[in-house]
Amino acid sequence: MRFSVVIPTYNRAAELRGTLKSLAHISTPDLWEVFVVDNNSNDETRTVVLDAARHFPVELHYVFEPEQGRSAALNAGIRRSRGQIVVTTDDDVRVQPDWLEQCGAALETLQCDYVGGKVLPLWGAARPAWIPDHGGKQWAVIALLDYGPETIPFFTQAHRVPLGVNMAFRREAFDRAGWWDNSVGRKKGTLLGQEVREWMARAHRVGLRGAYAPSVAVHHVIQLDRLNKRYFRRWYYWNGISRALLYRHAWIDMQAPESTDVDYSRVPHVLGVPRFYYRKAPRELGRMLLSAWRGDRVQAFDAELWLWFLAGVLRQRWKDRGLARPPAAARVHAEPQRREARIY
């Protein structure tokens, strides 16, 4: 078995049906299989999978995972899979027939342990004017990604991380770095995230190599209920909480976790938050007001979202105020990143 595709899902039966229909058109001479992991859905998810399995071109497995959370669902599927390459995606994507072939070729050509690729939009409604029509920070909110046409080794540029909706791993990567952390990532009732960053940090520490592979691409269906400012504000607030949860264990840059320019174990803190955040807040508030006055809705909303991010950071760091600070040795060091960059 060369490829195993793992799809965590929760109450998205209608979209899942379209995803499985798209996957059924994959063309590869190698053996492959699909695992749909139902994470406590109360809709028709099980029926959709079992119906599709009757006519699916390869083995399509239904797995029920009672522990809530995307990470737990991914682990349940990966443990049951048999492929030499594990590919993760979501229940609302559309793929090209050569998707798995591109995943395998990228791992071989780039000599990587894991890769992540483009995630392009299929808009469920007209794109609002305040969302850029190209890749950027706001694209991450709706799980879109496009870093351009060139390969980028991970841990060489800040913010350049993959999305779990389009990643491929050599199976041995999980033997060396471990499974997904069930305490991290999206859970029902929250917009928690950062499970990919948390796993990548462990992978980096044990010497695994990863890269952005532009040839590996999927299209992501963007639901109408996410194309509003309220959702974006909630996402950034929870993103601040998620980054602060990582900060409690290691001295990461909460704004750019892959950056190693600053040793945060030596930075002055106020209420558990690096002091310079408080200087940036009035600047972002001023940028928001000035951009709004000029009619630049994209920049005004971008500045506002940083303030929501800070609110999430402050909330979580206040909750963690009684915890011991991580040791200085827990910070991510820059030197291994420079060595890794020369491999590619």
| Span 181-210, pLDDT tens digits | 887 766 666 766 678 888 998 899 899 999
Q: Which two tokens stand for residue 9?
A: 């899902």
Rounded to an integer, the average pLDDT of 7-11 is 96
Return all residues near 92 (Cβ < 8 A) that are at least 6 apart: 12, 15, 16, 18, 19, 220, 221, 223
pLDDT for the residue 341 = 26
Least confident of 6-10, 264-268, 299-303, 304-308: 264-268
d(CA 114, CA 212): 9
| Span 156-169, pLDDT tens digits | 876 788 999 999 99
**Is pLDDT larger for residue 179 or for residue 337?**
179
Rounded to an integer, the average pLDDT of 266-294 is 89
**Is pLDDT larger for residue 159 or for residue 41?**
41
d(CA 229, CA 226): 8
**The domain 3-227: what is its CATH number?**
3.90.550.10
pLDDT for the residue 320 = 86
**Is pLDDT larger for residue 97 or for residue 243?**
97
d(CA 331, CA 264): 8
| β partners of residue 227 | none
Rounded to an integer, the average pLDDT of 113-129 is 91
d(CA 88, CA 79): 13
pLDDT for the residue 141 = 87
d(CA 69, CA 218): 23
pLDDT for the residue 333 = 46
d(CA 235, CA 134): 19
pLDDT for the residue 342 = 24
pLDDT for the residue 234 = 92
- Which of 243, 241, 245 lies closest to 254, judged by CA? 243
Rounded to an integer, the average pLDDT of 233-262 is 80
pLDDT for the residue 130 = 79
pLDDT for the residue 267 = 83
Supply angle C-alpha 22, 26, 27, rounded to 5. Answer: 160
pLDDT for the residue 189 = 66
Domain ranges of the chain: 3-227, 236-341
Q: Which two tokens stand for residue 328?
A: 């200085």
pLDDT for the residue 206 = 94
Rounded to an integer, the average pLDDT of 171-182 is 94
Which pTM does this prediction carry? 0.84
